A and B are shown apart, each in its own frame.
Chain A
Amino acid sequence: MSQLAAAKPMSTRAKSWLRMRAIARRHAYVLVRSPHRLFDVSLWPLVDVLLFGSLAAFVGTSGSTPAAKASGYLLAGIVLWHVIYQSQIAMSTGLLEETWTRNLLNLMVTPLREVEYLGGVALFGMVKLVIGVGVMVLGALTFFSFHTWSLGFGLVPIVAVLLIVGWAISLFVMGLVLRFGTGAEALAWGVMFVLLPLSGVFYPTKALPALMRPLALALPTTHAFTALRSLVDHRGTDWSQLTIAAAGSAAMLGLSMWFLVAMLRTFRKRGYITRYT
């Protein structure tokens, strides 16, 4: 009797989990065997923490209360910003990797479901996130005696909201890549540079030009970072801001999923796979 016939049949759920782990492992090989990609989770987070930590130290020397606050905002902001950055980049580059290496057709002919693929790259993204943010937390502690975890359990919901926003952006970028090809990859990075100033990662949004403030307030990230500053200022968890952020991030995720499904349908309809064969 063949091995396959002898094997115990797997449930659909077990198969899905097996496929997700397989995809996560595939991307882990890419990371480990491309030293320059390890910079994403080691060197660049460290550079960011050194840059913003040094700025925080410089600002903090003035001794004024606002300056002391600003130094906390800078360090906490950059550490939490990397939650969005790492989760977004890990997922977006997951799909981009398949397009760069013309591997998309190999995957699309297998029983792998789209949701399983996303689960796999998200799983791998979580590993990158833990490593990248871990490096920052340790860097902030070592170089600037900044205890990220001293902000308390209020960080957990903020991290969850930022994670969801990161995933939502990556789904949107994936949809654009499927529709417009790898030319859309610049957005994978570019969109973050738009979001960074508008979200008030390092400052309250009242510091933004008045014209920009309504746009900033429409972003769930703005409310998440406002809640973060509440923790930095020892004012406890700002549940009202967190509720707005959670609702906004859920809506963003729903819209991005809808967009990705629509773009995937177009991809199949117009035969765009031939771009990658």
Chain B
Amino acid sequence: MLEARGLVKDYRRDRAVDGVDLVVRAGERVALLGPNGAGKTTTLLMILGVVSPDEGAVTICGFDLARHRSQAAECVGFAAGYLPLTERMRVREYLRLYAQLYGIADPHPLIDEGLERFRIADLASAMGTELSSGQRTLIGIVRATLHRPRLLVLDEPTASLDPDVAQRVRGGLLDLCDRDGTAMLMTSHDMSDVIQVCERVVFLSHGRIVADGPPEAVASAYGRGDLEGVFLHLAERHEPTGAQQSDHP
């Protein structure tokens, strides 16, 4: 489904991503974790084709992203807690716009179904500016899933949500993945998201993958009781100390 090989990205001051290899198989739900500045978002942006890697290549659904970005993007849905809704549009108009960008000529049945899945059908005629940040996130997720993507990429999907709404999002995403066999790659700082939704975690630190496996296996490899412990351990190591420290267990 997704194959990223040898991804490297240098920004002016430092190396953001340093040789990341990541494979996500059909139907697999993977969390990309790590402290702030570990390279998660840059990795996602390279996988989405928005930032070009200095080295390495990405293949999505068999399409080489560098050469066939549009075809590859048809297989992918993306939502992020920080993304705004397109302004001056009602929710249904907004969802129609993006459905059409994915090549769906008559998206209204899919829009109804998507809104229903996350129990927000009452927002269909609301203007984007009338929505709370949590509602905007939900609409963003509906948008990302309208075209039944084979790979769903989510950056902090529950960042601004109340616990009950976050739970609804997790349920909706699991339902979608189970029904359509959608693969998922998500970042989150909320470990309850990860434990409930993902069957595999990939930890990044200093732009490198330092752990990859089922959540329990990764936690025990680091000698921690849970993922939170691994996260805190890596975050501590991520602080700039001037001395090189190993991020590996």
What's the Cα separation between A277 and B83 when bound, in Å? 7
Question: Does B24 reach chain A (CB closer than 8 Å)?
Answer: no
| Stretch touching chain A among B45-53, B184-192, B195-203 | B45-53
Using CB atoms and an 8 Å cutoff, list the residues of chain A in contact with chain B: 2-4, 7, 10, 14-15, 18-19, 21-23, 25-26, 29-30, 33-34, 101-103, 105-113, 265, 268-271, 273, 277
Chain B residues positioned under 8 Å from A25 (CB to CB): 97
Query: Is there contact, CB below 8 Å, between B87 and A30?
Result: yes
A109 touches which of B54, B76, B105 (Cβ 8 Å): B76
Question: Does B110 reach chain A (CB closer than 8 Å)?
Answer: yes
- Which chain B residues numbered 29 to 70 have a C-beta less than 8 Å away from chain A? 42, 45, 48-52, 54, 69-70
Chain B residues positioned under 8 Å from A106 (CB to CB): 83-84, 86, 98
B100 touches which of A3, A7, A18, A271 (Cβ 8 Å): A18
> Could you give 14 example pairs across A and B, Cβ below 8 Å?
A18-B103, A19-B103, A21-B100, A26-B97, A29-B89, A110-B101, A111-B70, A111-B102, A268-B51, A269-B51, A269-B54, A270-B11, A273-B50, A273-B51
Nearest B residue to A8 via CB reads B105
Task: Kindly count the residue-residue contacts between A and B in the assembled complex, taking CB atoms under 8 Å apart.
Answer: 98
Query: Is there contact, CB below 8 Å, between A10 and B103?
Result: yes
Question: Does B170 reach chain A (CB closer than 8 Å)?
Answer: no
Chain A residues positioned under 8 Å from B76 (CB to CB): 109
Using CB atoms and an 8 Å cutoff, list the residues of chain B in contact with chain A: 9, 11, 42, 45, 48-52, 54, 69-71, 73-74, 76, 78, 80, 82-84, 86-89, 93, 96-98, 100-106, 109-110, 113, 147-148, 180
What's the Cα separation between A109 and B180 when bound, in Å? 21
Nearest B residue to A26 via CB reads B97
Query: Is there contact, CB below 8 Å, between A18 and B105?
Result: yes
A271 touches which of B9, B86, B98 (Cβ 8 Å): B9
Chain B residues positioned under 8 Å from A268 (CB to CB): 50-52
Chain A residues positioned under 8 Å from B78 (CB to CB): 109
5 further interface pairs, Cβ-Cβ under 8 Å (given A26-B97, A112-B101, A269-B52):
A4-B147, A109-B48, A109-B73, A109-B76, A277-B80
Query: Is there contact, CB below 8 Å, between A271 and B45?
Result: yes
Query: Is there contact, CB below 8 Å, between A22 and B88?
Result: no
Query: Is there contact, CB below 8 Å, between B51 and A271?
Result: yes
Chain A residues positioned under 8 Å from B109 (CB to CB): 3
Chain B residues positioned under 8 Å from A3 (CB to CB): 109-110, 113
What's the Cα separation between A123 and B93 when bound, in Å? 19
Nearest B residue to A19 via CB reads B101
